[in-house]
Structure 1
Amino acid sequence: MASGHGNIPEEVIESVLARHDIVDTVGKVVHLTKRGKYLWGLCPFHSESTPSFTVTPDRGVFHCFGCGMGGNAIKFRMEIEGLSFPEAVKIMAEESDIPVPEIAGGMQSAHNPELDRLLQAYEWSAKFYHYLLKNTEYGKAAMDYLRSRKFSDHMIDQFQIGYAPDRWDTLLQFLERRNFDLAEMDRGGLLSSRSEGKGYIDRFRGRIIFPIANRAGKVVAFAGRILGEGQPKYLNSPESKLFNKSRILYNLHQSKASIRKTRQIVLFEGYGDVISAWESGVHNGVATMGTSLTENHASMMKALADEAVIAYDGDRAGQAAAMKALSMLEATGLRVKVAVLPGGLDPNEFVAQYGGDRFREQIIESAVSTVKFKLIYLKKNHILLEEDGKIAYVKEALQIIASLHSSTEREVYLKEIASELDLSYDSLKQDCNLLRASMQKNMPEGDNNVKRWNNGRHKKGQVQARALLPAYHAAERSLLSLMFQDSEAAAYVNEHLGEDFNIDDHAAIAAYLYAYYAQGKQPEISRFLSSLQDDRLEKIAASISIMESPPDWTTQLLDDYIREVRKYPVQRMMEKKREEMIQAEKAGDFLRAAQIASEIIALERQ
């Protein structure tokens, strides 16, 4: 029996959920603190300073009271890493050595024919651009440029680098001949509408093409580097149904095996850097999509690795970007190191100049701690030969060192500065201790001062109370909560209420639940959530599943809730009749008003 999610067999989904504990899955990204039966933390899906994000271990679900996001372990990985359901299941299955039938491999868009057509178009377009680069006169100048940058034919083939000729309709004709809908190709980012609104032109012209693949290895976008002078230097595909640049890391599909094996990920600024590093033996490298690192990227990296090495350009802009990136990565709980490139070189230039072995050994394997990098970065901003520069540098360096929790680490860096600047170690230590005492005194209250991004003292009443629900709404949620826990309760509600819930989403969840139990399945909310085929229903069901419900139900309790649910449409009808009666009285139609009054009395008796 296959589920509605890309034809993945249900036994695979169940095995994945059984082997991926919700606390372990979420805990890799969110700092969780136990309070009662729940674990609490700051939601990774929206910005907040007070924790409203919960994990319920015994039910295998997460739910945020702030933004409403909720679901099981699979849903969490989908949202954090920007994956489709089949992609998430396949990745989680691989991590647990669960065999997945081939049918589940690339089914990310089985429910959406337009996405299938776009994926096909991108795959063929990537092959077309690659052919033009390697086999035509159009690509000769681009090949000469790539070889000047030390790109081997093997690298060009492995990364399927291509070339888009400097013409208006090269790809347009290619897609037209294959009967693709040009409006769809425009929406998907392969073509552009003409400015006057009539017809289409190639989006990429006169550019070296780097295909961008998703986690499953399917091409979903292109990055085009201009050949020669011009702006922008890099042009990315626009955001589309396939491509969200804040949720995709370049080369992740090829590097994920090495990342999982080493538990380390290397972050580069550019596509060329990733490719050069790969040729040098660094097979765990990725890059962002011509944009700065986002919280989504950082969360994805934390879900894959324990350590990140930032290998940005050696110039001032690259080092400033590294300073920003290291703070974001450290905030997720990753161990972070920084590769220091000399002379303002970027990784691609270093490999071309000194070779892959030196790059791997002297740059990546010799990456320094973030504290060391911050001190190096600070040092460049001060003239240490002048007394004022030396004093300013020491003051700023002590701010960094004093914040370290390890006394051994503090000692190492203080001794290094003392030796380097010919200063007294004891004086530096005394100043550092005074500064540290001052910092601790001014430390804001919180339960996670190491990772301020995920902090909040879990005091009673800090999570904002939700608005009181109408009686019928609360009754429907209570019924569903009991039905999640007991198939007999669900059978009773099915017999006496069926799908006559007042709220459409509740009726839909009930219908799914009746079908779920009809297949002989046991009550298990985490697995039931995977049978839902709607994001909104999944969030609502997750929210209901964490409600406090009596452990034992009675038919009287269910009848009370059902009565409340059935009462609501009658009350609505009575309100409508009262309005009609008032209108009839205003119009002087007292006979009609009397008839309506008797209808209201009948409804009240009902």
Structure 2
Amino acid sequence: MSTGRGIPEEVIEAVLRQHDIVDTVSKHVHLTKQGKYMKGLCPFHSEKTPSFTVTPERQIFHCYGCGKGGNAIKFRMEIEGLTFPEAVRIMAEEAHIPYEDKGRGYGDSPRNQELEQLLQAHEWSSKLYHYLLKNTEYGKPAMEYLKSRGFTDKAIDTFQIGYAPARWDTLVQFLDKRSFELEAMEKGGLLSSRQDGSGFVDRFRDRVIFPLHNRSGKVIAFAGRVLGDGQPKYLNSPESKLFTKSRVLYNLHQAKNEIRKTGQVVLFEGYGDVISAWEAGVHNGVATMGTALTESHAAILRGMAEEVLVCYDGDSAGQAAALKSIPILEGAGFHQVKIALLSEGLDPDEFIQKYGAERFCHQVLDGAVSSVKFRLIYLRKNHILLEEDGKVAYIKEAMPIIAALTSPSEREIYLKELSADLQVSFESLKQECNELRTAMQKKADAGDNKPERWNNGRHKKGQASMPTLLPAFHAAERRLLSFMLQDEEVSRYVGERLGTNFNIEDHVAIAAYLYAYYAQGKNPDASHFISSLHDERLEQTVISIAMMDTPGEWTTQELDDCIREIQKVPLLEQIKRKKEEMVSAERAGDYMRAAQIASEIIALERQ
């Protein structure tokens, strides 16, 4: 049986069985046990007090701060920016579950059809640009430029590099002839609107084109580098339904297997660096596209690797960016963060072209230093160590970095290096470090947001939301659905006595889905039930209900009380309407009609 998303139900069930919610979440969030729940700081929004809750018993998560929730598949979708089919495929591969996606993987909703059209348009556009580069007169100047930059034919094919001609309508005509809706193509970032509103023009003109892929390998955007001195020098596709800069990493689709195999990812700043490094044998390299490193980028990479090696440009801007990346990467929970040191202010691409692949791998990558060592090197450049004032200032800035280390042996190593480097007594440095460490621990104990590595730079002060007091019938409906999620017998009992006569529209739909779910012979399982829903709003409502602290045992009296509370609502509404009718009849002087309505009201009130 298929889910309507082109994925067999047995595959989804196997994925959820193999991916425990606590194990899945723990790779990104530090969880602590609180009764039958696990709690931590939400990875999806900034908060100081943990409101992110995982229920191992029901295999779901829910954040009471931002409202996000779901099962293990939903968590991977949210944390890594994946579609449902992408998340299932990746998780199936990780658990060695056989999975052949015979459908398109997107379903048949209008929104998904629109996404399919955009994906197809991007794929064809990529092939057109690549063909124009390699096989036409238009592409010759671009090919000469690429060859002058050291790009080989093999690299051009591997990365499907292309060329967009200087004409205004090459892609417009290409897409129009293939019956693509040009307005949708403009929204998807392939075209631009004319200033006078009379039509559309190509977004990319006279540029070398680098296709950007999602992690499944589908083209979702482009990066264009101008030929000559035009501005802007680099142009990326705008953000669209397919492309979100903060969640896309260049070359991840090709690098992901090597990243998983080695447990390490090399992070570059640009696509040229990735391609040159690939040619040099570095097949676990990725780059951010047109944006600084984000927490989403870091979370995606942490899901695949335990070690990250930052290889940014050797100039001051590149090294400053590397410094900024450290708290983000450490906050994502990488076991080791290393920084490559490039000499002469070169970027990785320039270094490889000048000194070759072997020297790049051995000198730059193998010679990468720890994040602590890099911080100290970076600080050192800002001080004149030949002067006493410079030494004192450097020690003052370096000491908090060393004191924050949890390992005594690590602290000792760096203190000894500092002692030898500055000709300062090791004992005096150690004493100062210990005093600072004591002060830091006292300060940390005073707050409730300790500087643990899993939330550095990610969580800031938030405000807890106040619980809302629900009307009695609304609370009764939620309680009844909570029992129904836990027990098929309750669902059958409620179905016979209430059916879908709930008062909240979403509750009507959830009850109907539950009756159908159990009719298929399935066992009570909130996580699996959520996966059977194809509606974001219903999913969130079910998660909220499943997180209720409802007892596992129930009585028919408790169920009947809830059912009576729910059935009151339409009667109360009917009484309200009758009273309005009675008032209208009295105003019109129709006292016989008013008396008749009054007796009807009494009968309804008796019910």
> In the alignment, is residue 567 of structure 1 matched against residue 568 of structure 2?
yes
Give 3-state SS (helix, strand or coil) of 1:180's partner.
Answer: coil
SS in 2 for 1:238: coil
SS in 1 for 2:567: helix
Structure 1 segment 77-156 matched on structure 2, within 5 A: 77-103=76-102, 107-108=105-106, 110-111=108-109, 112-156=112-156
Contact 1:418 1:428 in 2 (8 A): yes
Give the distance between the partners of 1:566 and 1:211, measured in 2 at CA. 58
Output aligned runs, 1:110-509, within 5 Å: 110-111=108-109, 112-334=112-334, 335-443=336-444, 444-446=446-448, 448-451=450-453, 453=455, 465-509=466-510
Structure 2 contact 29–454 (Cα < 8 Å) conserved: no
Offset at residue 580 of structure 1 (A) = 4.6
Q: Distance in 2 between matches of 1:530 and 1:161?
A: 39
- 1:387: Cα distance to partner? 2.5
Q: Is this contact kept in 1: 2:331–2:458, CA < 8 A?
A: no
CA positional deviation for 1:449: 3.3
Tell me the distance in 2 between the aligned counterparts of 1:3 and 1:84: 15
Which residue identity is paired with 1:475? A
Deviations 1:56-94, CA, capped at 9 Å, x for gaps: 001110011112111100010011111111110000000
Structure 2 unaligned residues grouped into runs of 5+: none
In the alignment, the residues of structure 2 paired with residue 598 and residue 323 of structure 1 have an alpha-carbon distance, to the nearest angstrom, of 80
Q: CA deviation at 1:231?
A: 2.6
- Distance in 2 (CA, whole Å) between partners of 1:44 and 1:428 is 37
| 1:361-402 CA-partner distances (Å, limit 9, x unpaired) | 221222111100101111122222233222211210112111
- Is the Cα contact below 8 Å between 1:51 and 1:455 reproduced in 2? no
1:450-497 CA deviation, whole Å, 9 max, x = no partner?
Answer: 23727999xxxx965511211111111111111111111111111211
State the Cα distance separating 1:591 from its structure 2 match.
5.2
CA–CA distance in structure 1, aligned partners of residues 230 and 392 of structure 2: 45
- Distance in 2 between the 1:4 and 1:552 partners? 34
On the 8 A contact 2:331/2:457 being kept in 1, the answer is no
Q: Which residue of 1 aligns with 2:29?
A: 30
CA displacement 1:314-333 (0-9 Å, x = unmatched): 11111111111111110121
Give deviations 1:270-300, integer Å, cap 9, x for gaps.
Answer: 0111111111111111111210111211211
CA distance in 2, matches of 1:356, 1:455: 35
Sequence identity (%)? 65
1:158 to partner: Cα distance: 0.4
3-state SS, counterpart of residue 468 of structure 1: coil
Whole-Å Cα distance in 1 between the matches of residues 72 and 32 of structure 2?
A: 18
The change in CA–CA distance for 1:455 and 1:349 in structure 2 (over 3 A counts) is closer
Local SS of the residue matching 2:289: coil
Whether the 8 Å contact between 1:448 and 1:455 is mirrored in structure 2 is: no
In 2, the alpha carbon distance for the partners of 1:34 and 1:499 equals: 37
Q: Please give the alpha-carbon distance, in whole angstroms, between the structure 2 residues aligned to 1:537 and 1:453.
A: 30
Distance (whole Å) between structure 2 residues aligned to residue 141 and residue 245 of structure 1 = 29
Residue number in structure 2 paired with 1:548: 549
Contact 1:447 1:456 in 2 (8 A): no
Change (3 A) 1:33 1:524: same
Compute the TM-score of the two structures, normalised by the length of structure 2.
0.95
Q: CA deviation at 1:597?
A: 3.2
CA RMSD of aligned residues (A): 2.0
Q: Give, in angstroms, the shift of residue 588 of structure 1.
A: 6.2
CA distance in 2, matches of 1:188, 1:202: 12
Residues 435-457 of structure 1: per-residue CA shift (max 9 Å, x gap)? 22222222243375323727999
Q: What TM-score results when the alignment is normalised by the length of structure 1?
A: 0.95
Quickly say closer, same or farther: Cα 1:392–1:586, change in 2 above 3 A.
Answer: farther
Q: Is the 8 A contact 1:160 1:211 kept in 2?
A: yes
Distance of 2:587 and 2:396 partners within structure 1: 82
Q: Residues 199 and 315 (structure 1 numbering): CA distance in 2 closer, same or farther, change over 3 Å?
A: same
Decide whether the 8 Å contact of 1:265 with 1:301 is kept in 2: yes
SS of aligned partner of 2:138 = helix
Q: 1:175 to 1:327 in 2, by over 3 A?
A: same
For residue 586 of structure 1, report the CA deviation from its aligned partner. Answer: 6.0
* Per-residue deviation, 1:407: 1.3
Separation (CA, whole Å) in 2 of partners of 1:69 and 1:31: 17
Q: 1:602 to 1:351 in 2, by over 3 A?
A: same
